[in-house]
Structure 1
Amino acid sequence: MPIEIPTDLTPELVPFAWLLGHWEGVGVLGYADAEERQFGQIVDFSHSGLPYLEYRAESYLLDDEGNRTRPIKVETGFWQLDRKLGEKDLGPGLLPGAEEPALSTAADVEKLRNADQGFDILATINHPGGVSELYVGAIEGPRVQMATDAVMRGANAKEYTAASRMFGLVNGELMWAWDMAAAGQKMGSHASARLRKTEVS
């Protein structure tokens, strides 16, 4: 399946182009001594012309017949290349930055390749319940690997201390896996899923 690159995509997001779209599928979740459960998920990666990818994932439990039973999580975030920001870039606050993007050509982006010929990335993912994750990692072709650099929790949030996530495109399907350290347990497998790109209904 060829990867389509939208004509309005800023060059800085071209390495993420394979993620763009609406994805749906099923997976398995569990952790430590918790019973494994099947769940469904809807994931959207979109952009608004700015140099970051917008991420939203909605997950829900499934019964033995594969029917939805109840929602369990919605998480949202932003993914971007991890580079030093300058005067042309957005922020802080609502400061708009320059009208022309800081990286305006493919050649500008190519200069950011790391020693492994991928790109360093930064992602923030926010959860209900007072938890926000800051991930650092790399994207190399149709594969992302990232781990938390910081986890912020509200005073009454459940214990959640670290995580790592992997995403990859395999035969046109989005495969992902999530390990976490939480509830006094060491880092361990938490969830994984296989998603297919679909049209938004």
Structure 2
Amino acid sequence: MNENSTPNNPVVPGAGADGPSLSDSASISGSDAVNLAAEQSKSTAHRNIPGLGDLPIPDDTANLREGPNLHDGLLALLPLVGVWRGEGQADTAEDGQYAFGQQITFAHDGENYLSFESRMWKLDEEGNPTGVDQRESGFWRINLKDEIEFVCTHAGGVVEIYYGQPLNERAWQLESASTMVTATGPSTLGPGKRLYGLLPTNELGWVDERLVGDALKPRMSAQLTRVIG
């Protein structure tokens, strides 16, 4: 993980001392953010996740221009909706330090929650994929007091409940209130904290920190570019 990262100023992977951190999430003006998003959407606005199209209920959509309207209760999470793809760094008790690729999907079906899916794959030193890594799915909800609930299940045998709140219009911090590990899951995984935020480049950065001994230490982080939405 980046040696310049601290609990109060997490640095996105590979950024270096002068690179962007998640504390930069609010450092771009509203007009600049809109202009940048409009420019970037030229290559992503026409894309969406596939749907069967024959369900009696709305298909999920990761594109706010298509499908049902976003529920009014989710406006504080609106910037997350889309499909994001990029690379990150991990330092886990199970596999040590390694690089990974990742795709995160935040989608909705018009109801008052976002669905969440994360798929990862390991990368070798040249950046080539070498196989499947971790996978997560879950749901984000937020109430009228801006209190976020995130229920997350890991394919490796973990179920977690996170609570948190927006730090600003472009960043969201969550802390695990319950971490349940199955008999075959990662027994060393402790409680933790996650921070998701849009960088000044409108990329999505996130950091997962876990309690090791008496201190939180970065376990995973990534910097992702919007590819849909």
Match of 2:172 in 1: 144
State the alpha-carbon separation in 1 of the partners of residues 183 and 132 from structure 2.
24
Is the CA contact 1:143–1:167 (under 8 Å) kept in the aligned structure 2?
Answer: yes
Describe the SS at the equivalent of 2:147: strand
Q: How far did 1:187 drift? A: 3.1
Higher relative contact order (CA 8 A, sep 6+): 2
TM-score, reference length from structure 2: 0.66
Per-residue displacement from partner, 1:23-57 (whole Å, max 9, x unpaired)? 00001111369642111000100001110010000
State the alpha-carbon separation in 2 of the partners of residues 33 and 44 from structure 1.
25
Task: Specify which structure has the higher proportion of helix.
Answer: 2
Amino acid at match of 2:161: L
Aligned match of 1:122 in 145, 149, 153? 149
Is the CA contact 2:161–2:179 (under 8 Å) kept in the aligned structure 1?
Answer: yes
Gaps of at least 5 residues in structure 2 are 1-32, 38-62
Q: How does 1:140-179 map to 2 (within 5 A)?
A: 140-159=168-187, 160-170=189-199, 171-179=201-209
Q: How far did 1:152 drift? A: 1.7
State the alpha-carbon separation in 2 of the partners of residues 65 and 157 from structure 1.
30
Gaps of at least 5 residues in structure 1 are 84-111, 114-118
Match of 2:131 in 1: 70
Q: How many residues align?
A: 165
Is the CA contact 1:31–1:188 (under 8 Å) kept in the aligned structure 2?
Answer: no
State the alpha-carbon separation in 2 of the partners of residues 80 and 17 from structure 1.
12
Per-residue displacement from partner, 1:152-194 (whole Å, max 9, x unpaired)? 2223432223011000001210010001136x78531101110
Match of 2:223 in 1: 194
State the alpha-carbon separation in 2 of the partners of residues 48 and 20 from structure 1.
11
TM-score, reference length from structure 1: 0.74
State the alpha-carbon separation in 2 of the partners of residues 41 and 135 from structure 1.
21
Match of 1:39 in 2: 100
Amino acid at match of 2:153: N
Amino acid at match of 1:179: E
Identity %: 29
